[in-house]
Amino acid sequence: MILCSNPKAQYLAHKAAIDAAIQRVLEGGRYVLGPEVSTFESEFAAYIGVAHGIGVANGTDALVIALKALGIGPGDEVITTAHTAVATVAAIELAGATPVFADIEPDYYTLDPAAVERAISPRTKALIPVHIYGQPAAIPEFVALAKKHGLRLIEDCAQCHGARHAGQRLGSFGDIACFSSYPTKNLGALGDGGAIVTGDAELANRCRLIREYGWAERYVSHIPGQNSRLDELQAAVLRVKLAALDADNARRGEIADLYDRGLAGTKLGLPKRRPNSSHVFHLYVARAARRDALIEQLRGAGIGALIHYPVPVHRQKAYAGRIRGGESLPETERAATEVVSLPMYPELSREEVERVVSSIQRFTESS
């Protein structure tokens, strides 16, 4: 079976270094918020190109803590996309704020800046563009929109570790940025993990306080907080993988090029790259008019293909009919009926890619 993503393959690819890192933690005797976490925070912030990094328990918590650190909560609106993992929207509500939806750009699946500007109201306090699938959102436009309207800009970088726009790493454009290290991510842990980065020292300090009960010193809460600590084992694993991230992303790009060439003559709509940007292909997402039939054929051939995402957030039972902007999202809804994620991870072999391509070619020729 060719999986859509394969965290075990990445572990095996870096097994010796990961095993040594885990052993170092086990023998060190410090297991939560110790030297591995603080070193990872510094290394990751430097990689992104900002001054401060804060390790947290997962990507959802990263967004919640970022919103709280910015003072965004009840009565405040935050504009984002419905074409995302539901965590983006859940985090806004967990912080006590109100999500608002805007539609996406059809070429890139990311928030449409023009649609966002139309959605801004007197209650709007922040924008959360999602750099989905590893593709940069229209980040210069969002920086300009935030400045024009006096809004805070939070980058949702859960799927874009290492991507750039105009040579600058995503995560360094906004007031603050949030990353997930779920095992399937480009920089994935062996369990849950997340990180926040910012160039603002005061914001970074508030994030550190919030992630552990508001403690500046142990057992004394200076502000209300929560428990969202990155553990030492995950931080040690992430340090190993961070050193290999650019090489792994380059391999993802090579695989994407193989798909592009092999599928060029088929009826699939292949992923487009935003100009002056690097796409790190967390997912290779194509469009197919007969998507569900294609997925069925691929699975019959032992090929895992998934849908990211089959039901837009505004159509899900938990959110349907109660979020402003969800009344008209035509590009979001069209994408949900057509997108298909093909197998994508650095350890995928050329032969496996060719097998995926051949199966799709047979499907499109018979359709």
Write down all domains in the chain, each with its CATH number in brackets: 7-102+109-239 (3.40.640.10), 245-366 (3.90.1150.10)
- Helix intervals (H) in the chain: 7-13, 15-28, 35-48, 59-69, 87-94, 113-119, 139-149, 201-211, 232-262, 291-300, 330-338, 350-366
- Given a cut of 90, whether residue 365 has pLDDT beyond it is no
Mean pLDDT along residues 172-181: 98
Residue 63's pLDDT is: 99
Alpha-carbon torsion angle 109, 273, 187, 4, nearest 10: 70
Position 366 confidence tier, pLDDT thresholds 50, 70, 90: confident
Contact 340, 307 (CB under 8 A): yes
- The string of pLDDT tens digits covering residues 278-296 is 999 999 999 999 999 999 9
Residue 322's pLDDT is: 95
* Whole-model pTM over 0.85: yes
Position 212 confidence tier, pLDDT thresholds 50, 70, 90: very high
- Given a cut of 80, whether residue 367 has pLDDT beyond it is no
Residue 364's pLDDT is: 87
| Percent residues over pLDDT 70 in the chain | 100
| Percent residues over pLDDT 90 in the chain | 98
